[in-house]
Every structure is written in structure tokens, then in C-alpha cells.
Amino acid sequence: MTTAAAVLTEERILDAAEDVLRRFGPAKATVVDVAKALGVSHGSVYRHFPTKVALRDAVARRWLARIAEPLEPAGDTAGPAAERLLRWLQRLAGIKQGMALEDPELFATFSQLTTEAREVVAEHVDHLAAQLTEIVADGNRSGEFAAADPVASGRALLYATARFHHPLHAPEWADPAIHNDLIEVWKLLVHGLAVRR
């Protein structure tokens, strides 16, 4: 066993896979390319990830986790739920739009990768919807919102704001009005959630 193979970890493989995907794109990148970048045999990579699909799914899962982590509601508990909701939406939009505008090739690569990783994306959507559910439930508890079903409301909020964070809308993100558009959509959503006085 080579020294490189002896210290081979899933994290090192994923780092190399991201680099290979960046250089060659999803259509041309192979497990052999990843193994070469690591200085190991492709069999060593397959010991950690049994298929090319499993490796790509793991890369997609890690990428999506990086997006979701800074959005955790526990990291932002200051102020009314409506304000927290706006900050959450702005953070998600900022992360996705920033990636698309700063490194469009890499964003396109990861977007293609996630299109193929349907189960991974479904988990990611569930996770984001759960974060929104938490904010809505907090708003219900504080008497600010009157959502009959916070879980359904959380998912609806995610879908209603897709223009600002779904990769299919990336061509629209260079529009300078998009930030104001998000605020206007947020106002409508909060109005729909609000307790009627």
C-alpha cells in the first residue's frame, strides 16, 4: 500500500473530485482522473465510494451542505420572525447568486451535478424547508404568525422564493432589481402568515 493510499480519506477524495470536476466538467471527469489527482489507484477510490454515482452524490451532498450550514435558524434568533425570515431568504439568495456570478463555470458544474443527484437534492430541499418551518413555528409561538401548518408553510415559502435561489433562474440574477424584488415577495409572504388583528 502506498503512503498516499494509507492516508486516503473520504474528505481527500471529495476535495480531489471537486477539483477534477472543476477542471474537466461532469461530462468528462472520471474516477480514474480523481485517483490520478490523488496518486492512488482507482480501486482505492472505489473502496470509499463504490460507484461513480456514489462519488458524485457525495460531492453534491457536501456542496449543498455548505450552502445550508450558514442558514441554520439557531444561528440567528434576534428580532421578530418576519425579520429573521427576510435575513434567511437574503442569505440563501446571496450564497447562490454570489456563487453563480463569481464563478459561473463552477456553479454550472455543480448545478449539473445536483440535477443528476435527485435524492441528494430532495434531502437538501427538505432540510431548507425544515429551517423555514422552524422560523414559522417561532413566529406562531410569539403570536406574530398564524400559520395553520408550519411544515406546509415552510415548504411553500421555499417554493415561492425559488426565483431568487433555484439554479434554473441563475440567468435572472444579474438584474439589479432582484434584491428589491425579493423584499417585495417577502412582504407578501409575511402578510399571508401574519395574525389578523
Helices 118-141, 52-68: crossing angle, 10 deg rounding: 20
DSSP-assigned letters across all residues of 7-60: T--HHHHHHHHHHHHHHH-TTT--HHHHHHHHTS-HHHHHHHSSSHHHHHHHHH
User: How much is the pTM?
Assistant: 0.86
Distances (CA, A) of 14 to 61, 63, 135, 137: 10, 10, 32, 36
Which residue positions in the chain have pLDDT lower than 50?
1-2
The pLDDT tens digits of the residues spanning 38-77 come to 999 999 999 999 999 999 999 989 989 988 999 998 888 8
**pLDDT for the residue 1:** 43
Q: Where exactly are the structural domains of the chain? A: 3-50, 74-193
What CATH class does 3-50 carry?
Answer: mainly alpha
- Residue 121 half-sphere exposure, CB side, CA atoms within 13 Å? 12
Residue 145, strand partner residues: 194
| The domains spanning 3-50 and 74-193 adopt the same CATH topology | no
* Architecture field, domain 74-193: Orthogonal Bundle (1.10)
The pLDDT tens digits of the residues spanning 161-170 come to 999 999 999 9
Residues 6+ apart with CB under 8 A from 41: 5, 35
**pLDDT for the residue 3:** 52
Cβ-contact 14, 58 below 8 angstroms: yes
